[in-house]
Amino acid sequence: MLETKGNQAKLMDLSPNEIRDVTRLLEQGKPLPDKYRFLLFGDKRQVELVWNGKTDEVTNVVLPFQSIEHIDEPRTEAEIVRAQQSLLDMSGRQIKGWTNKLIWGDNKLILSALKNGPMRKEIEDAGGIKLIYIDPPFDVGADFSMNIEVGDEEFTKKPSVIEEIAYRDTWGKGADSFIAMIYERLKLMHGLLAEDGSIYVHCDWRVSAYVKLALDEIFGIDNFQNEIIWAYEGSSRPRKAWDKKHETILMYSKSEKVIFNAAAVGDQKKESSMKAYEANMMEDEGGKFILRYRGGGGFAPKELLTNSDVYKSYMKDFIHPKDWWHIDFARKSELVGYPTQKPLTLIERIINASSVEGDLVADFFVGSGTTLSVAEKLGRKWIGTDIGRFGIHTARKRMIEVQRSLKKEGKNYHAFEILNLGKYERKQFVNIENDLRAEEKEMVRRKKEGDFKTLILSAYKAEPLDGFRSFVGKKRDRLVAVGPIEYPVSYMFIQEIIQECQEKMITKADVLGFDYEMGTDFSDAKKLGIDLQFKVIPNEVFDKRAVERGQVKFFDVAFIEVKPVIKKNAVAIELSNFSVFYNQDDINQVEQELRGGSTKIILENGNIIKLSKDKETDLITREVLTQKWSDWIDYWAVDFNYESRKEIIRDEKGEEGWTGQYVFENEWQSFRTRKGRELELTSAFHECAKGRRKIAVKVIDIFGNDTTKIIEVNV
């Protein structure tokens, strides 16, 4: 993969035999040997990372962000009135200015939209992204399953099709596909980073050499700052080699003007007085830079302090921080059930070193949300993204807990919002070879889409159908629409289906999708008298034998029942039922493969079942773990005045417009944690003005899938 450049030559310097060979290979459509690449094309770079399918093309697609949910601690009406009298709500809710962002979707498209779209100005107004920390999936053999607690047991959730596609694209061709994935994203991150910003990339022995060369190429070798070694203790097994007990974190800056707060992370040589440092504050002429000791939020740029007595005092009392850290894994009290979770101490060190209070920090592989949690506690703004629903949901709960903790301590905290990429471009189809011409790509894409729809219709036992914009099949008296394979079924896709139903007097139809956008309201069609059923396509659809045997089971989206409880001018919501219809396993097949004396927890027909096989008799017993409908619920929340906040988006020209949707204002919530498994099923009472209003209820199940129901009440 590592190439060194030889002497350059012009075409006329090639021998007749070499010219003949080049011509023949081009006529046959075959690639030229590497030696011709260096002979024919000049390049100033001496060392370069090369992989199969390398391209300098970077996506510049700009998709609008759809605001799904706004999350803040609930307050009384009196508190809201007081908050609106100032620019910043000191109870934690941000009335004006930056709102933290948790974004669900493919981070390549998210990064492109952040870099090239209207949110770029919002980022720049917030000071720009000063620090990026990423911990991309670098474990080639990982299957990215997730363990979920169900009572006293743990159930293994398999990745969704969308997650599997993302991980297959990451590791489908081993290191080649990983480098291609990370290279394009690093280029987009470079474009987003502030001039005085830095990036920390977490990796291990599998990919650290490749990532280092990619970062050298993108950020420039002169902007390499450190190769940090994170060493840790842990259990190990005997082997004929050194024990692998460290990972690597590569730090690069955008330019030579980089933030580094040595005092915030330096080791103390001897006891020093905090008051002595606080008494020696220093400001530049603009009043922007203040020297403060750890706990005060940061350290002034080194160039302002080199000749000062304060800086000399710091150097006398502190050891300059080293680039090797011994930090143990996350403590048990920190764990949130995410396999790749990193310790808080590790992230605290990075954020303290390379940002100050009020700076904007980003993590584009957010996982369990550790970066966001630390950033919020340290007074930073943040952006976090992830392709996994479960990751977004885990981070959401974690950030609410941080809000609650800060509020209890009397400290300020920020509201945050959950966003989708609100318009998924179907032309961003998976697995189209990069080296194809545009027209060839389009032909391949159309064929793949056609094959995909034929496969789904066959598994659903529906007949293909032409002549419609949205519908591709028919099953008995119902038309069938199929969503995209690579992205969730969007609000816009559903609206297009409803529009065609109205135009052509269609009253019954099914929508099939692997996933649905967060916050989707499934009741729009019913209000118009259209019987529109929403089905989830199971992973088994890609099993040819299961399709041929008619064993593929499509299941309905979850169903919610709620009851409003009204007392004078106050309303509470009682959650009265929640039904799911998931399938993940074939119970008969699992029973056949089960060994004597072992157990297996499976998911079939909306039940999580524990199978146990007796070691001596081979007798199999089935125990249903989800005995109550509430066992499926991990989190639920209420917006007591759903249509109070319109969703406004800006287009590429910066012009604002209403999408026709509303933002879910999270005013009350109850959820399970690893420490607290109990769930409240009736909300607190909320004072409301008299009259009719719509109340939205959001339920998130133990898999991270969310379902929203809107009801109308008269107070």
CATH of the domain at 89: 3.40.50.150
CA–CA dist 328, 234 (Å, integer): 8
Do 642 and 658 reside in the same domain of the chain? yes
Using a pLDDT cut of 70, give the percent of the chain over it: 78
Is the pLDDT reported for residue 315 higher than 70? no
Residue 499 lies in a domain: yes
Residues contacting 210, CB < 8 A, separation 6+: 1, 49, 175, 178, 179
Asked whether the beta carbons of 218 and 190 are under 8 A apart, the reply is yes
CB 521 within 8 A of CB 543: no
Among 39-48, 397-406, 523-532, 691-700, the minimum mean pLDDT is found in 39-48
| 409 and 504 inside one domain | no
- Confidence at 13, pLDDT banded by 50, 70, 90: low
Report yes or no on 486 lying in a domain: yes
Q: Write the CB contacts of 286 (distance below 8 Å, at least 6 apart in sequence).
A: none
Residue 173 has pLDDT above 90, yes or no: no
Whole-number Å distance between alpha carbons of 164 and 124: 34
At residue 299, the pLDDT reads 45
**Same domain for 574 and 491?**
no
Query: Based on the domain organization, do 498 and 362 belong to the same domain?
Result: no
Handedness of CA 139, 145, 146, 152 (dihedral sign): negative
Residue 378 lies in a domain: yes
What's the whole-number average pLDDT of the chain?
A: 80
Q: To which H or E segment does residue 459 belong?
A: helix 438-460
Claim to verify: residue 687 and residue 654 sit in the same structural domain: yes
Mean pLDDT of 687-697: 92
What is the pLDDT averaged over residues 267-277? 49
Which of the four pLDDT bands, split at 50, 70 and 90, describes residue 317?
low
User: Are 489 and 588 within one domain?
Assistant: no
Give buried/exposed letters for 277-294 (b at 16+ CB in 10 A, else e): beebeeeeeeeebebbbb
Confidence (pTM): 0.78
Residue 102 covered by a domain = yes
Which region among 72-76, 147-151, 374-378 has the lowest average model confidence (pLDDT)?
72-76
598 falls within a domain: yes
What's the token pair of residue 522? Answer: 């499934």
CB 10 within 8 A of CB 39: no
3-state secondary structure of 587: helix
Q: Average pLDDT, stretch 625-635? A: 91
Kindly state the average pLDDT of the residues 102-118.
93
**What does the CA dihedral 430, 433, 437, 438 come to, rounded to 10 degrees?**
10
Task: Taking residues 5-21, report their average pLDDT.
Answer: 63
Q: Which helix (H) or strand (E) holds 265?
A: helix 262-265
**Who has greater pLDDT, 33 or 516?**
516
Contact 509, 471 (CB under 8 A): yes
pLDDT digits (tens, 9 = 90+) for 578-618: 988 887 777 888 888 899 999 998 888 788 899 999 988 98
Range of the domain at 453: 438-516+523-556
pLDDT reading at 37 higher than 90: no
Q: If phi over 0 gives left and psi between -120 and 50 gives alpha, with beta otherwise, what is residue 704?
A: left
Q: Within its chain, how far is the Cα of 596 from the centroid?
A: 40
Residues 587 and 468 reside in one and the same domain = no
CA pair distance 465, 475, nearest whole angstrom: 10
- Residues 6+ away with beta carbon under 8 Å from 29: none
Are residues 386 and 365 in contact, defined by beta-carbon separation less than 8 angstroms? yes
Q: What are phi and psi of 348, to 5 degrees?
A: -55, -40
pLDDT at 1: 40
Predicted pLDDT at 305: 44
Beta bridge partners of 419: 67, 103
Closest CA to 668 of 648, 655, 687, 649: 687
Claim to verify: residue 583 and residue 637 sit in the same structural domain = yes
| 9 in a structural domain | yes
pLDDT, greater one: 315 or 253: 253
> Is there a domain that residue 335 lies in?
no
Over residues 623-643, mean pLDDT = 92
pLDDT higher than threshold 70 for residue 481: yes
> In terms of domains, do 133 and 158 share one?
yes
Per the model's pLDDT, the better-predicted residue between 34 and 536 turns out to be 536
What pLDDT sits at residue 703? 84
Would you state the pLDDT for residue 12? 57
Closest CA to 263 of 251, 242, 278, 248: 278
Residue among 320, 195, 343 at smallest CA distance from 259: 195
450/371: higher pLDDT: 371
Query: What average pLDDT score do residues 252-270 get?
Result: 81
CB 111 within 8 A of CB 192: yes
Using pLDDT thresholds of 50, 70 and 90, give the confidence band for residue 575: very high
253 and 370 housed in the same domain: yes
pLDDT digits (tens, 9 = 90+) for 283-309: 444 443 444 433 334 444 444 444 455
pLDDT value for 26: 83
pLDDT for position 46: 60
Can you read off the two tokens belonging to residue 587? Answer: 């119970």
C-alpha–C-alpha distance, residues 536 and 707, integer Å: 13
pLDDT score, position 436: 52
Tokens found for residue 451 = 């094959």
Helix (H, G, I), strand (E, B) or coil at 547: helix
Query: What are the pLDDT digits (tens) for 513-551?
Result: 988 888 787 877 888 889 999 998 887 787 777 788 777
Q: What are the helix and strand counts (H, E) for the chain?
A: 20, 35
Domains contained in the chain, number: 4
| Residue with the two structure tokens 């090239």 | 116
Question: Do 376 and 477 belong together in one domain?
Answer: no
DSSP 145-159: -EEEEETTEEEEEPP
* 77: pLDDT strictly greater than 50: no
Same domain, 651 and 546: no
The last residue of a domain, from among 532, 556, 580: 556
Q: Is 688 contained in some domain?
A: yes
Q: What is the mean pLDDT of residues 641-653?
A: 82
Which pLDDT band, with edges at 50, 70 and 90, does 430 fall under? very low
Q: How confident is the model over 206-260, as pLDDT tens digits?
A: 889 999 999 999 999 999 999 999 998 876 666 677 888 899 999 999 999 899 9
Which residues have C-beta within 8 Å of that of residue 236, sequence separation ≥ 6? 243, 245
